Amino acid sequence: MASSSAAATQQAAGAGALDRLLTVTHDGMERVNALILKRAESHVDMVPKLARYLIEAGGKRLRPMLTVAAAQLFGRGTGAEINYAAAVEFMHNATLLHDDVVDESDLRRGRPAARMIWGNQASVLVGDFLLGQAFMMMVEAGDINALGVLSKAATIIAEGEVFQLAKARDLETTADDYGQVIHAKTATLFAAAAEVGAMAGGADAAGREALRVYGEELGLAFQLVDDVLDYRGEAGTLGKNTGDDLREGKMTLPVILALADANPAERDIIAAALGKDETPDGVMAQVVAIFNRHRSLDRTVEQADAHVRKARAALETLPASEMRTLLSDIADFYVGRAY
Amino acid sequence: MASSSAAATQQAAGAGALDRLLTVTHDGMERVNALILKRAESHVDMVPKLARYLIEAGGKRLRPMLTVAAAQLFGRGTGAEINYAAAVEFMHNATLLHDDVVDESDLRRGRPAARMIWGNQASVLVGDFLLGQAFMMMVEAGDINALGVLSKAATIIAEGEVFQLAKARDLETTADDYGQVIHAKTATLFAAAAEVGAMAGGADAAGREALRVYGEELGLAFQLVDDVLDYRGEAGTLGKNTGDDLREGKMTLPVILALADANPAERDIIAAALGKDETPDGVMAQVVAIFNRHRSLDRTVEQADAHVRKARAALETLPASEMRTLLSDIADFYVGRAY
C-alpha cells in the first residue's frame, strides 16, 4: 500500500487531471447533456419527471466523459461520440433504476431513490424506456459495430447482475466470483464507453483495443474503490450509509477477504450482519474493525491500484499526447478516493 | 356485429388458415426456436432456468411467426428473419417479465409467473438480459434500418406501459387514452415484427409499409380481443382469472365504454371493484352484467373487427399469393376467439 503522503500526492495529481479533463471535454459534454435532456422527453409526463430526477442528481458523468475524451484522443470526433456518450449514460441510469428496485435501496446519489417517489413499477418501466432510447441514439449514429459493442455490454451487465443476485448472502462466494461480478456489472460499461468513443474518433483496431482495456481496468479499479468506500466513506458522501452493501447481502471483496482470514467468532459476527437490513451501526463498527484487523479494505485498495497500473499501461501503446496524459492521470483520482 | 353463425364460419376459416400458416412457416420457426433456446443460455444458472420456464410455456409464437411469414411473403428470406423473429420473441418475453412485476401478477400462461418462483428481482434482471440478447441478434443480422425499427418499438412499448400505469384506476380515462396504450404496448411490436420480416424478405418501401400497417392493425385487434376475453374467457384458458384486468385497475375499452353509459349505481359498482385485488367473483359477475347491459364487450369486438378489415386491406395493395391469403385469413382467427 502507498504511504499516506504518497497517496495524498497521487490523489492531488488525479484531482488536477480531472479538472483539466472536464475543461477539455467541456464542449462535447455540453452537447451530450443537451442530448440527454432532449431524449428523456416524452408525452407521458412521468417519464421525463422520473428520468430527470435521476439524471440531474448527476454524479460526475465519468462514463460519457470517457466516451467523449476517447474520441478526442484520436483526433477527429465525427459527432457519433455525442450519441454514444448519451447512450452510455442512459444505459447506466437504466441499470441504476433497476438496481434500486432489485436492492430495495432507499437512497441514490444522496437523495431518495426514484422508486421511493414514483414506485418500483415506474422505475422498472422508465429504465426500459431509457434503454430503448439508448439503442435509438446508437442507431442514429449509424455504426453497427458500435451497436455490437454496446448491445453486448447490455447483455453482460444484466447477466452479471443476476449472478450477483444469485451470490447474495452466500458465504462461500470466492474472490473469483466477485471478479466476475464487477467485471460484468461495472468494467464492461466503462470498457464499452471508451471503446465506442475511440471508434467515433477514428481509432484503428489497436487504438480501439487499447481504449477498451483502459476502460475495463479503470472500471475494475473504480468498483473496487466503491466497495471500499461503502465501509470507509462518511455517511452521505455517496448518498448511502456505511455498510449498506453488507446489509443488502452483497459479497464484495472486503467481506470475502475478511471471511477467508477470520476466526470463528469474527466469522459469526460478519455472517449475522450479512443481508440484515436492521444491522445497527454499532455492529457495523465491529465488522469494520474485523476488516481492519485483516487489512481487507487496504488489500482491496491495493488490487484497485494494480488495475490502475494496467489501465495506464494500456494507454502507453499509443502516441504521447496531452489527452493521453490526462486519461492516465485521472485513473489515480478514482483510487485516491479510497485513502 | 356479425351473426353467431357468420362468426362461427369466420372463426373456422381463421383456424384453418392458422394451421396452414404453421405448416408453411414450419422450417423457419424450427430455426427460430433453436436460436431462442441457444440465446437463452448463460453461465449464470438462473438465467436459462427462468428464461426457458417462460419461453417454453409458449403460446403460439404469433409475433415471430409473423416475422417469418412476412419474409416468405416477399420470396427471398435472407436468413436475417430468423434473428429478427427470435429478437422479437425475446423483446416480448422481456416485456412479460417486467409486466408481471409491475402488475404483481401471480399467473402467466396458465402457470405461476416466473416472479412467483425466482422473485421480482430476477424477473427484472433476466428481462434486461433478454432485451440485451435481442439487440445482439439484431446486430448480427447486420441491417441497421431493422435495428432502427426494433429499437424504436422497444422505446414506444416502455413509454406505453408507463402511460398505462399512470392511467391505472383513473375513471376519467378516455377511449382515446386506451387507444394510445394498446397502440404502444401491443400494436407497435406486431407492426415491427411484420415490418422487419418484410425487410429481411427483400420488400420494397411499399411492401414494407403494407406489412407494417398489417401488423399494427392486427395487433390492435389482438389486444382488443384479449381485453374482451379477460371478462369472457373461462378461467384457466388464458392462464388468468376472469376480471383480472379490473382487479389490477386496468382501464381497458370494455370498462371505459361501460362507464360512459352507466347510471350512478352501476358506476359505483364498477368503481368499487376497480383495482381491488380481493373483488369476489360474485361482484365480478355483476360488473360483467353491467357490461352486457351496455354492450361494452360486443362493441369492443366490433372495433376489433374494424381493425381486422384494415389489416386485410393493407395486404390487398400487394400481389395476390397463397401467403397473402393466409395472412389475411389468420386475422379473423384472432377476432373469432372473442365470440
Cell 438480459 -> residue: B129
Range from A235-249, A262-276, B7-21, B154-168 carrying the lowest mean pLDDT: A235-249
Burial of A145 (0-12, 13-18, 19+ CB in 10 A): exposed
Strand partners, A112: A107
**Average model confidence (pLDDT) across chain A:** 89
Cell numbers for B229: 376475453
Taking the C-alpha atoms of residue A320 and residue A309, their distance in angstroms, rounded to an integer, is 17
Cell numbers for A232: 470507509
Strand partners, B108: B111
Neighbours of A84 (CB within 10 A): 31
Residue A128 to residue B166, Cβ atoms within 8 A:
no
Please tell me the predicted confidence (pLDDT) of residue A4.
Answer: 55
Taking the C-alpha atoms of residue A128 and residue B54, their distance in angstroms, rounded to an integer, is 19
Report the candidate in A124, A126, A193, A180 with the shortest Cα–Cα distance to residue A153: A193
Q: For residues A191, A192, A197 and A200, what is the CA-based torsion angle, rounded to 10 degrees?
A: 140
The H or E element spanning position B112 is: strand B111-112
CATH 1.10.600.10 for domain B8-314+324-329, yes or no, is yes
The pairing of strands A107-108 and B107-108 is: unpaired
Comparing A238 with B142, which gets the higher pLDDT?
B142
pLDDT bucket at A46, cuts 50 / 70 / 90:
confident
Q: Which residues of B touch A (CB under 8 A)?
A: 42-47, 94, 98, 101-102, 120-122, 124-126, 128-129, 131-133, 135-136, 138-140, 142, 144, 147-148, 151-152, 154-159, 161-163, 165-166
Taking the C-alpha atoms of residue B70 and residue A336, their distance in angstroms, rounded to an integer, is 57
Determine the Cα angle at B156 with ends B78 and A104, to 5°: 115
Tell me the nearest-neighbour CA distance from B64 into chain A, angstroms. 20
What is the percent of chain B with per-residue pLDDT over 70, rounded to a whole number? 91
Query: Which residues on B lie below 8 Å from A121 (Cβ)?
Result: 101-102, 165
Instruction: Give DSSP secondary structure letters for B34-47.
Output: HHHHHHT--SSTHH
Taking the C-alpha atoms of residue A104 and residue A107, their distance in angstroms, rounded to an integer, is 9
Please tell me the predicted confidence (pLDDT) of residue B2.
Answer: 43
pLDDT bucket at A312, cuts 50 / 70 / 90:
very high
Residue B133 to residue A125, Cβ atoms within 8 A:
no
Residue A124 to residue B98, Cβ atoms within 8 A:
yes
Query: Which residues on B lie below 8 Å from A157 (Cβ)?
Result: 128, 132
The H or E element spanning position A112 is: strand A111-112
DSSP state of B146: H
How long a stretch of residues is chain A?
339
Burial of B212 (0-12, 13-18, 19+ CB in 10 A): buried
Tell me the nearest-neighbour CA distance from B89 into chain A, angstroms. 16
Q: Scanning every residue of chain A, which has its alpha carbon at the shortest distance from the alpha carbon of B118? A: A166
Residue of A90, A92, A120, A135 to mutate for B, most B C-beta atoms under 10 A = A135
pLDDT bucket at B7, cuts 50 / 70 / 90:
low
pLDDT bucket at A267, cuts 50 / 70 / 90:
very high
CB pairs under 8 A between A and B: 141
Residue B292 has pLDDT above 60, yes or no: yes
- Give the closest of A46, A122, A135 to B154, CB-based: A135
Report the candidate in B316, B223, B298 with the shortest Cα–Cα distance to residue B4: B298
**Average model confidence (pLDDT) across chain B:** 89
DSSP state of B113: -
Comparing B335 with A254, which gets the higher pLDDT?
A254
Q: Scanning every residue of chain A, which has its alpha carbon at the shortest distance from the alpha carbon of B94? A: A128
Tell me the nearest-neighbour CA distance from A200 into chain B, angstroms. 17
Tell me the nearest-neighbour CA distance from B244 into chain A, angstroms. 18
- The whole-number average pLDDT for the span B196-211 is 97
Please tell me the predicted confidence (pLDDT) of residue B10.
Answer: 64
Neighbours of A229 (CB within 10 A): 18
Residue A60 has pLDDT above 90, yes or no: no
What Å distances lie between residue A162 and A99, A100, B50, B125, CA to CA? Answer: 11, 14, 11, 6
Please tell me the predicted confidence (pLDDT) of residue B304.
Answer: 96
The one-letter amino acid at A103: D
Please tell me the predicted confidence (pLDDT) of residue B8.
Answer: 64
Query: Which residues on A lie below 8 Å from B188 (Cβ)?
Result: none
Report the candidate in B250, B336, B260, B329 with the shortest Cα–Cα distance to residue B291: B260
Please tell me the predicted confidence (pLDDT) of residue A1.
Answer: 41
Please tell me the predicted confidence (pLDDT) of residue A2.
Answer: 43
pLDDT bucket at A221, cuts 50 / 70 / 90:
very high
Residue B1 has pLDDT above 70, yes or no: no
The H or E element spanning position B319 is: none
Please tell me the predicted confidence (pLDDT) of residue B65.
Answer: 95
What Å distances lie between residue B13 and B20, B127, B298, B330, CA to CA? Answer: 11, 36, 21, 8
pLDDT bucket at A27, cuts 50 / 70 / 90:
very high
Q: Scanning every residue of chain B, which has its alpha carbon at the shortest distance from the alpha carbon of A161? A: B125
Please tell me the predicted confidence (pLDDT) of residue B4.
Answer: 55
Tell me the nearest-neighbour CA distance from A91 into chain B, angstroms. 11
How long a stretch of residues is chain B?
339
Out of A160-174, B172-186, B224-238, give the one with best mean pLDDT.
B172-186
Residue of A100, A126, A128, A250 to mutate for B, most B C-beta atoms under 10 A = A128
Residue A76 has pLDDT above 80, yes or no: no
Cell 355483476 -> residue: B286
Comparing B45 with A195, which gets the higher pLDDT?
A195
Query: Which residues on A lie below 8 Å from B140 (Cβ)?
Result: 148
DSSP state of B108: E
Tens of pLDDT, residue by residue over B145-169, are 999 999 999 999 999 999 988 888 8
Q: Scanning every residue of chain B, which has its alpha carbon at the shortest distance from the alpha carbon of A185? A: B125
The H or E element spanning position A111 is: strand A111-112
Residue B166 to residue A132, Cβ atoms within 8 A:
no
Helix ranges, A45-187 (H): 46-57, 62-73, 80-103, 114-141, 144-167, 175-182
Please tell me the predicted confidence (pLDDT) of residue A58.
Answer: 65
pLDDT bucket at B9, cuts 50 / 70 / 90:
low
Residue B60 has pLDDT above 50, yes or no: yes
Report the candidate in A128, A73, A133, A332 with the shortest Cα–Cα distance to residue A222: A332
Tell me the nearest-neighbour CA distance from B202 into chain A, angstroms. 20
Query: Which residues on A lie below 8 Å from B125 (Cβ)?
Result: 98, 102, 158, 161-162, 165
What Å distances lie between residue A17 and A193, A332, B142, B212, CA to CA? Answer: 19, 9, 40, 52
Residue B129 to residue A155, Cβ atoms within 8 A:
yes
Please tell me the predicted confidence (pLDDT) of residue A235.
Answer: 47
Taking the C-alpha atoms of residue B202 and residue B197, their distance in angstroms, rounded to an integer, is 9
Give yes or no for a contact between B133 and A155, defined as CB atoms under 8 angstroms apart: yes
- Give the closest of B42, B140, B151 to A135, CB-based: B151
- How close are the terminal C-alpha atoms of chain A, in Å? 10
Query: Which residues on B lie below 8 Å from A142 (Cβ)?
Result: 144
Taking the C-alpha atoms of residue B255 and residue B172, their distance in angstroms, rounded to an integer, is 11
pLDDT bucket at B192, cuts 50 / 70 / 90:
very high
Cell numbers for B67: 416475422
Q: Which CATH class is domain A8-234+308-336?
A: mainly alpha
Residue B132 to residue A158, Cβ atoms within 8 A:
yes
Report the candidate in B102, B247, B104, B257 with the shortest Cα–Cα distance to residue B177: B257
Structure ipTM? 0.91
Instruction: Give DSSP secondary structure letters for A131-171.
Output: HHHHHHHHHHHT-HHHHHHHHHHHHHHHHHHHHHHHHTT-T
Neighbours of A44 (CB within 10 A): 23
Tens of pLDDT, residue by residue over A82-127, are 999 999 999 999 998 998 887 777 777 778 888 878 888 888 999 9
